[in-house]
Amino acid sequence: MRRRDFLAAATAPLFGAETGTILVHEHVMVDFAGAGQIRTGRYDPEEVFRKAVPKLTEIKKLGCVRLQECTPQFIGRDPALMQRLQDAVGIAIWTNTGIYGAANHKYVPAFAKTATAEQLARRSIRECEEGVDGVKPRFIKTGVNKGPLDELDRKLVRSAAITSRETGLTVASHTGDGTAAIEELRIFEEEQVPPNRFVSVHAQNERNHAIHEGLARADAWVEFDGIREKSAGWHVECVRHMAAKGLLGRTLISQDSGWYRVGEPGGGDYRGYTYIYTGFLPRLEPAWVPQLMRDNPREAFGA
């Protein structure tokens, strides 16, 4: 079967307002200046809007009904702009709450270094209740470095877990490796948060399939993202392993793509979001597509 024929056959039933596909981990805009440098006026929202609309329109035509914008606060989160893009393009764009500790804490603001986990959680819970620029976060985003976790990373994860316990929202955590993921899951257990509210983001960076399998059997979500043409072979292997072990129902896939980069001319190399549809899904079993692209995202994050 030709690739175009496969795509039409495998995904056409999914493309509708009620049964469409979801990209669980993408970005529209990022600002890598660091928490101490983030400030109003570093970018032109109109330019970002013009760059993003065509990219988002492409995936709407392919059946995407929701994109989860995973840029945290202090790395360029802009809920008002995401709402404007959502209204213009006609797909849901979800924003997040939480503090991101990966990249050696470059994006952790000063107040978060001295606040307690409970204080940080109260801040995120307030955002969930009151909204940010009129937009309520729909998931929690945090991030940690490789394990063993240091004290600050552990605090950020605990804060995210408390927020999840109080709001019911799922935590997507940028995770350095399998050791870190296991520690994060233990913190969730300590805070009496169900493991199915924890998503181990960037699980493809952990090369040990046994850890992928262990996390999934513990009822956590294992997310293989960063899907590109050059990495597709490894990503296919990861998904096939999970399917062979009966764990496709704990597996998420996405691209971690997009990235209008604040500070670079024209936003730099803003990658589109179509490859997962046109290049990656055709390499999987057609029967897996509805679960990976429609059912699992809704079970993990909500409808």
In a domain, 8, yes or no: no
Say if 61 falls within a structural domain. Answer: yes
Asked if the structure places residue 3 within a domain, the reply is no
- The range of the structural domain enclosing residue 259 comes to 22-32+43-301
Whether residue 12 is predicted with pLDDT greater than 60 in this model: the reply is no
Stretch 193-199: mean pLDDT: 98
According to the model, what pLDDT value does residue 40 have? Answer: 86
- Alpha-carbon torsion (263, 156, 205, 199), positive or negative: negative
Task: Please tell me the predicted confidence (pLDDT) of residue 193.
Answer: 98
| Number of compact structural domains in the chain | 1
Q: Does residue 136 form part of some domain?
A: yes
Q: Is residue 4 part of a domain?
A: no
Q: Is the pLDDT of residue 143 over 60?
A: yes
Each residue of 74-95: pLDDT tens digit? 999 999 999 999 999 999 999 9
- Res 17 pLDDT > 70: no
CB-based contacts of 296, cutoff 8 Å, min separation 6: 221, 249, 250, 251, 252
Asked if residue 18 has pLDDT above 90, the reply is no
Confirm whether 59 is domain-assigned: yes
Domain assignment present for residue 248? The answer is yes
Dump pLDDT digits (tens) for 171-187: 999 999 999 999 999 99
What's the confidence (pLDDT) of residue 19? 55
**Helix axes 79-89 and 45-61, enclosed angle (nearest 10):** 40
Q: Say what percent of the chain tops pLDDT 70.
A: 94
Report yes or no on 51 lying in a domain.
Answer: yes
**Prediction pTM value:** 0.94
CATH code, 57: 3.20.20.140
State the pLDDT at residue 15.
42
Q: 17 CB contacts (<8 Å, ≥6 apart)? A: 65
- C-alpha–C-alpha distance, residues 234 and 239, integer Å: 9
Q: What is the 3-state secondary structure (H, E, C) of the chain?
A: CCHHHHHHHHHHHHCCCCCCEEEEEEEEEECCCCCCCCCCCCCCHHHHHHHHHHHHHHHHHCCEEEEEECCCCCCCCCHHHHHHHHHHHCCEEECEECCECCCCCCCCCHHHHHCCHHHHHHHHHHHHHHCECCECCCEEEEECCCCCCCHHHHHHHHHHHHHHHHHCCCEEEECCCHHHHHHHHHHHHHCCCCHHHEEEECHHHCCCHHHHHHHHHCCCEEEECCCCHHHHHHHHHHHHHHHHCCCHHHEEECCCCEEEECCCHHHCCCCCCCHHHHHHHHHCCHHHHHHHHHHHHHHHHCC
Measured between alpha carbons, how far is 53 from 15 in angstroms, rounded to an integer?
19
Residue type, 195: P
Each residue of 23-70: pLDDT tens digit? 999 999 999 999 999 988 999 999 999 999 999 999 999 999 999 999
